[in-house]
Amino acid sequence: MKIKYAIVLMLSLGFMTSTIGQKKQKGWVPLFNGKNLDGWQVGENAASFSVENGTLKVAGLKAHLFYTGDAGNHEFKNFEFKATVMTKPSANSGIYFHTKYQETGWPSIGYEVQVNNSQSDWKRTGSLYNILNVQETYVTDNVWYTEYIKVEGKRVIVKINDIVVVDYTEPENPKRSEGEVNRLISKGTFAIQAHDPGSVVFYKDIMVKQLK
């Protein structure tokens, strides 16, 4: 009887743990399937993106991989986004939001959230690039960490491993330098950046939750 009771208890605890895990993930939709690049589109230098051991490997010439899949009809306004990321030494990358597919060049529309823990650019991981920059390094290379972005209305929050590193509210008529006039809150898709041949970055668990 005691053995039977113990088995029932273990099964019940397992069910409860599974249910709690499902609740935590409620509303989150995966954007990357870990098998291939279905739902994503890249223009120039497509070889900079590949799938390796269930992760998105970013390594090679300048390129940008845009989400063009079914989730949200690949157009997001208010959302939460998260990805598990690992940088190799001297790597630089970025996550764009409110952007749209562009064949070549640096995306001219949307904001970039920086991925850079040790490259020569002093603007570190979590920076809302060239808008609100982070100088501190919150994570190290060769270690998986979580990069989280929340956009609601005109407010952008960026977290690195649950630490808020950016809390920015876009003002009325924000001042932008030449070439960055479209760094504005609007709506659009996401893009992952391949920065240069010396940068190697891995992404997995790329997910989004739409907000009203």
- pLDDT tens profile 40-70: 999 999 999 999 999 999 999 999 999 999 9
Would you place residue 179 in the very low, low, confident or very high pLDDT band (cuts 50, 70, 90)? confident
How far from 71 is each of 16, 31, 76, 92, 152, CA to CA, in Å? 29, 7, 9, 27, 18
> Which element (helix H / strand E) includes 21?
helix 2-24
The helix/strand/coil state of 68 is coil
The helix/strand/coil state of 20 is helix
- pTM for this prediction: 0.88
Average pLDDT over residues 3-25: 45
Whether 49 contacts 193, CB under 8 Å: no
Q: Strand 189-194 and strand 63-67: pairing?
A: antiparallel
Would you place residue 18 in the very low, low, confident or very high pLDDT band (cuts 50, 70, 90)? very low
Give residue 14's pLDDT: 52
The candidate with the shortest Cα–Cα distance to 126, out of 79, 94, 81, is: 94
Domains and CATH numbers, the chain: 32-210 (2.60.120.560)
pLDDT tens, position by position, 105-157: 999 999 999 999 999 999 999 999 999 999 999 999 999 999 999 999 999 99
Nearest-angstrom CA–CA distance, 89 and 142 = 7
Give residue 64's pLDDT: 98
